[in-house]
Amino acid sequence: MEDMLFYDRMQFAFTITFHYLFPQLTMGLSLMIVYFKWKFLRTKLDIYNDAAKFWMKIFALNFAMGVVTGIPMEFQFGTNWAKFSELTGGIIGQTLAMEGMFSFFLESSFLGMFLFGEKLLGQKLHFLTGFLVFLGSWASGFLIIATHSWMQHPVGFEIVENGKFVLNNFSALFSNPWLWPSYIHNQLASLITAAFVVAAIGAFYILNNKHSEFGKLFVKTGVLFGLAASVLVAFPTGDWAAKNVVEHQPVTFAAMEGIFETVDGGSEIVLIGQPDTENKKLDNKIAVPNVLSFLTYQRWDAQIKGLNEFDEKDYPTNIPGLYYAYHIMVGLGTVFIALMFVAALQLWRKKLYKTKWILWALVFALPFPYIANTTGWYTAELGRQPWLVYNLMRTADGASPTVSAGNTLFTLLGFVGLYLLLGMLFLILVGKIINKGPETAKV
């Protein structure tokens, strides 16, 4: 049973990790495309229109990959997690169906119009199609996170005699206190990914003296969007989301921060350390006294509960994984703020395009927002374990009892091979688009 559960979790973790590489770019990029098209309508400068169409090609490729890699996850609800789907389908089916029926169709339909309908529609309607693509992508994220938020903090339901969860308050799904902090934080994080990708490609063009005018536009736009998003993802949205965890999942918060013992007075914030779960301590830690208490409760002497206050059966299943994922996310977020601030300062001083070390830093920083987004999701998911529905359904109770560990491992290996090929094809196609650069032919 333990092997079966392990491989069920590994398969879903792998497929969703690979899948989310694509939506995290499309959601943020859709907003930047709308910005480019809006600037074109205001200024009538063709460079903005060409930029919008260039990035929509990359958006479309990411969107297609997101669809292809997202479909297998839907099937896993019925194969690996049939018991979970049977008991909670009356609730999570609502938001997942809405995501497919409304958001996905809205996004995909108007994406085609934006790509191929500029001449027919005219510029204002063309802008509208781009805006509707943005609206569809952000609505899709909202409905997925509404599902996730219900699993983290279940609301608006009752459990009937056969053990099934039944929704008795539809509006509660969208007024869930877990939803809005998670959603805004996630969307800003996706905007960071898009901003770094746009800035990195722009810096690449400048350094190679290729499509230099577009390079300057991309760097400027990426840095400005990236600085704003990096600051906002830390405060207030990151702070808001963390306080939600303190209130609703205090044992998770203790594990995230590496607090094994409750201490009198204020709690320190750990910058570096390695959790030793056997001896219940942090090794080699570097910490700042009382800061965590102040950030959490705005009081230097506020007490924060340690893991010793809770039953061990309710501890997060993988405390080291949770701790490291959280600290990688926070550490990278701090680096993003610093890099974008320095780049914005040089932009203001009109020296950015000639400051090669910053341009190279932007190029090499491209993968790190993907890592930060991934570890952010790992923090949320590892933090909820050992529950599928927090405090109501354990992960072991939601797995399919008839799917063997061998079958799951076999299909997991198949996914790894297939996704490796898809990933290589994706990189080749994106590389061709970037190498060709934006088209400047007027419509």
Instruction: Note whether 18 and 50 are same-domain residues.
Output: yes
Q: Domain range for residue 421?
A: 1-30+46-78+405-442
Residues of the chain above pLDDT 70, percent: 99
Least confidently predicted of 2-16, 188-202, 240-254: 2-16
Instruction: Note whether 15 and 60 are same-domain residues.
Output: yes
Asked if pLDDT for residue 131 goes beyond 70, the answer is yes
CA torsion sign, 66 to 138 to 347 to 238? negative
Question: How far apart are the C-alpha atoms of 338 and 329, rounded to whole Å?
Answer: 15
By 3-state DSSP, what share of the chain in percent is helix, strand and coil, each rounded to 5?
75, 5, 20
Rounded mean pLDDT, 212-225: 97
Q: Is residue 192 part of a domain?
A: no
- Give pLDDT tens digits for 271-319: 999 999 999 999 999 999 999 999 999 999 999 999 999 999 999 999 9
Question: How far apart are the C-alpha atoms of 373 and 328, rounded to whole Å?
Answer: 10
C-alpha 2, offset from chain centre = 29
pLDDT confidence bin for 58, thresholds 50/70/90: very high
Q: Is residue 267 part of a domain?
A: no
- Give pLDDT tens digits for 358-377: 999 999 999 999 999 999 99
pLDDT at 441: 54
Q: Is residue 148 part of a domain?
A: yes
Instruction: Note whether 72 and 104 are same-domain residues.
Output: no
pLDDT at 443: 41
Question: How far apart are the C-alpha atoms of 115 and 112, rounded to whole Å?
Answer: 5
Asked if pLDDT for residue 51 goes beyond 50, the answer is yes
48 DSSP assignment: H
Instruction: Note whether 55 and 111 are same-domain residues.
Output: no
Mean pLDDT of the chain: 94
pLDDT at 73: 87
Q: Is residue 2 part of a domain?
A: yes
Q: Could you say which of 154, 175, 196 is where a domain stops?
A: 175
Q: Could you say which of 127, 159, 175 is where a domain stops?
A: 175
Asked if pLDDT for residue 179 goes beyond 90, the answer is yes
Q: Is residue 317 part of a domain?
A: no
Asked whether the whole model's pTM tops 0.85, one would answer: yes
Instruction: Note whether 110 and 124 are same-domain residues.
Output: yes
Instruction: Note whether 116 and 130 are same-domain residues.
Output: yes
Q: Is residue 159 part of a domain?
A: yes
Q: Is residue 394 part of a domain?
A: no
Instruction: Note whether 87 and 160 are same-domain residues.
Output: yes
Instruction: Note whether 91 and 20 are same-domain residues.
Output: no
Q: Is residue 298 part of a domain?
A: no
Question: How far apart are the C-alpha atoms of 175 and 184, rounded to whole Å?
Answer: 14
The domain total for the chain is: 2
Instruction: Note whether 63 and 119 are same-domain residues.
Output: no
Question: How far apart are the C-alpha atoms of 176 and 180, rounded to whole Å?
Answer: 8
155-to-81, 246, 341 alpha-carbon distances in Å: 21, 18, 40
Instruction: Note whether 58 and 113 are same-domain residues.
Output: no
Instruction: Note whether 118 and 145 are same-domain residues.
Output: yes
Instruction: Note whether 62 and 147 are same-domain residues.
Output: no
Asked if pLDDT for residue 245 goes beyond 80, the answer is yes
pLDDT at 266: 85
pLDDT confidence bin for 1, thresholds 50/70/90: low
Lookup result for tokens 């009198």: 264
SS3 276: strand
Residue type at position 298: Q
pLDDT at 263: 85
Q: Could you say which of 175, 200, 217 is where a domain stops?
A: 175
pLDDT confidence bin for 100, thresholds 50/70/90: confident
Instruction: Please name every residue paired with 393 in a beta bridge, in sequence order, or none if there are none.
Output: 389
Residues of the chain above pLDDT 90, percent: 88
